[in-house]
Structure 1
């Protein structure tokens, strides 16, 4: 069976009457279908009469072609090819009178019509073509007028929803009332955002969406951007009466925001209903675009306020607590600051947007009263001090994992007892994230209290003084400009890590024992007698730690 007929270029529904409905008009009461029953759902939009042998040059898609066979009376063998040629040009059906010029149709023609689902109709001899033309065209025009009137009514109702400030709940409710079906608005991940309709039908629709995701059109050029039969329901009946499921995409700003899905247990969703669903999807796109704009403004206000709080510019603790409450945040309780900072890879802009979404969703699940906002290169969350920050980070990372190769590192502060200590907690979390990345690589999760000596080093605000200490302590080994000096520094690192165990260091570096002894001598000529001076060894160890924190 062919799918619901649509214009391939635009997805617009072809309005008309099906071949099965044409056979129900009074002038065709004596007509007989002799082949192509599976094509009774083909849409008839116009009629034509075959008067010339080369009629193929004059036919158009969705036509019901009427003929007495007169143009083919001298070449009956061409009847066998006629069905395939007409089907290829998108005609709806062929109706023919026998006995006057053509006595019977070739068996090959009948078999081909059945194979292609192309209806062949035998007309009674006492019916004139003009009567058929008048009655069928009148039915088509009446049908199109009715469809247009119904669509206009739906359009006015849906526009009223938008003008009245309604959301997806109001859109789905209006569609459910107009079509007497169950309706759901579903986002791109298959999450149901709004539903309307009879409770039992809504429940069945939810089950279908949860089981298979939003119903979609089968692939093919006839699909267009709107809906056809759903995966979870049977196709429309051959008579074109309708289908149980239909789904249309919600597109706005070049982005796919989800779908509007409808369900009728009586398979009553017809092509004109799908047209109304398409209008509803357009209105839903306007609602989503409007909400996105509102959310963007609100997100900016939230981010600006939280940035002021974390930098100590938001005012008194009482004022901070009061304003935070307006955003649904509780900053008066003991809290922990968590910073998620993108690792330097991938498309930073798209990754940052996704990072904000993942962390916002994770905070809503674990601490609905927690604060979360996206800054230029990071996401900052302020959550209950009793919450498991590592678990929140893992939750956000799991949702973020579908965007390779981007990753983020997470840092957690000590508990903060009030709004006035939040700036310090933010600094701790930021340092933990950056030190953790340096020590453990991208995707690290670090707590400020677990940084050890790096915690102390990170508290030195004068980075120039730290770098001067490195240069004074390591001398030429502080730079990577010379490959030999960098190699000697790695040898020094291994020696200090093994507590000057020459045998273990040689094994770790894959050196001969004598080679390592030679290198130790060279290092002592550059750095001093570090093998006999524990204070010098401490300084060298600290300098190497500072180098590992380079860029922090």
Structure 2
């Protein structure tokens, strides 16, 4: 708002920490019982005609509208409220609730028109980009010059490469229920808050991006220079997004998938779908609040393409079924030991250290596993099959 043409005379006086709040609408309301007329997310404008110089009333107003989760307060300073009292500034700063001043000669009706126009324009632009990105990633149309020209209007640069990231809200319905969020506009507001956090991370990283929202997921195509390796940097951006969302929104986490690099607009689809696969696999393997990179998922990508889960289950049971049956009452101790043993390249000493057990105990467990499975864990072919089955078990949630 502060950077919008026509609003240059609005001056922030308190609550700088709340400048990331989303403005859903604007209201000019002078009655003391403001909370009865608002729903949250609005920017409130007042002249103070009913408050006058009543400092306590202004303090109560700030407390009330902050409690109702309004976006901020604009005081039309002049004959009724000559300036924002220090006590109000102190309160707003403690609440991270933005309070602004506007000279009295500036008419509020003009301010509301400008802000509402920007809100409508932003929504139209977002819906338009959403529609275009949906066609691009999920549609069947061939990419042609017309599509490229449209993409350029949304910020696409043919001289750049793009990395796909999907940010998926974990258990969003549960979050909405816990916070008594039922109205559609409040659900949209919650998603807008997440999108604002993502945008802040991208700006802090000086990265341009295109995006769309699909259900509880945000698809991002992040612009990078050609002929440069951005693998670690993209992972760092994903990590920051996850951490900042958890830090700024209580009891909400996201899982993130990183896709392949798209060198052309026609590769956006495959890059985004790789990111979608990555987030699905990472949630299967590690649960919510996880991050998966399609370049590091290896054989798990093959599992996702197998529609008949019974085939995988049969392979698993043939190789590890006996061990699983043997451990119904022992908390998968042998299975866990087997995984650690493989992770440590079949080094009994290192595996024992990771499990905090004696070397002889580890050796006993390996012998017990070989006895149950009737196999030799020193045989490479046997180990390949067992490793494959362990991955199947983790993918299916059996281990």
Check whether TM > 0.5. yes
- Check the 8 A contact 1:183/1:261 in 2, yes or no: no
Change (3 A) 1:272 1:520: closer
Partner of 1:63: none
1:328-363 CA distance string (max 9 Å, x none): 333674221122223447726576432222223444
Q: CA deviation at 1:529?
A: 0.8
- Check the 8 A contact 1:470/1:478 in 2, yes or no: no
Q: Are residue 462 (structure 1) and residue 289 (structure 2) matched?
A: no
1:229-252 CA distance string (max 9 Å, x none): xxxxxxxxxxxxxxxxxxxx999x
Partner of 1:256: 70
Aligned counterpart for 1:223 among listed residues 58, 77, 81? 58
Change (3 A) 1:432 1:258: same
* In structure 2, distance between residues paired with 1:191 and 1:520: 56
Which structure is higher in RCO with an 8 Å CA cutoff and minimum separation 6? 2
* In structure 1, distance between residues paired with 2:141 and 2:364: 60
What are the within-5 Å matches in structure 2 for residues 98-497 of structure 1?
Answer: 169-170=5-6, 172=7, 182-184=9-11, 189-190=18-19, 221-223=56-58, 255-261=69-75, 269-271=78-80, 284=111, 288=115, 291-330=118-157, 333-344=160-171, 347=175, 352-364=191-203, 366=205, 369-386=208-225, 388-397=233-242, 399-400=244-245, 401-436=247-282, 443-449=289-295, 451=296, 454-460=297-303, 461-463=305-307, 464=309, 465-477=311-323, 482-484=328-330, 486-497=332-343
* In structure 2, distance between residues paired with 1:361 and 1:538: 45
Q: Report which of the two structures shows the higher radius of gyration computed on alpha carbons.
A: 1
Aligned residues: 323
* In structure 2, distance between residues paired with 1:510 and 1:366: 42
- Check the 8 A contact 2:21/2:71 in 1, yes or no: no
Change (3 A) 1:337 1:293: same
2:155 match: secondary structure: coil
* In structure 2, distance between residues paired with 1:319 and 1:476: 60
- Check the 8 A contact 2:156/2:210 in 1, yes or no: yes
2:249 match: secondary structure: coil
* In structure 2, distance between residues paired with 1:500 and 1:455: 21
* In structure 1, distance between residues paired with 2:319 and 2:116: 59
Change (3 A) 1:286 1:468: farther
Q: What are structure 1's unaligned runs of at least 5 residues?
A: 1-166, 174-181, 194-215, 228-248, 264-268
* In structure 1, distance between residues paired with 2:289 and 2:236: 14
* In structure 2, distance between residues paired with 1:479 and 1:304: 51
TM-score for both structures, normalised by structure 1: 0.48
Partner of 1:4: none
TM-score for both structures, normalised by structure 2: 0.63
Change (3 A) 1:467 1:272: same
- Check the 8 A contact 2:21/2:193 in 1, yes or no: no
Change (3 A) 1:315 1:306: same
- Check the 8 A contact 1:324/1:331 in 2, yes or no: no
Q: What are structure 2's unaligned runs of at least 5 residues?
A: 23-47, 84-101, 177-186
1:415 match: secondary structure: strand
What is the root-mean-square deviation in Å for CA atoms of aligned residues? Answer: 4.5
* In structure 2, distance between residues paired with 1:502 and 1:192: 55
Q: CA deviation at 1:189?
A: 2.4
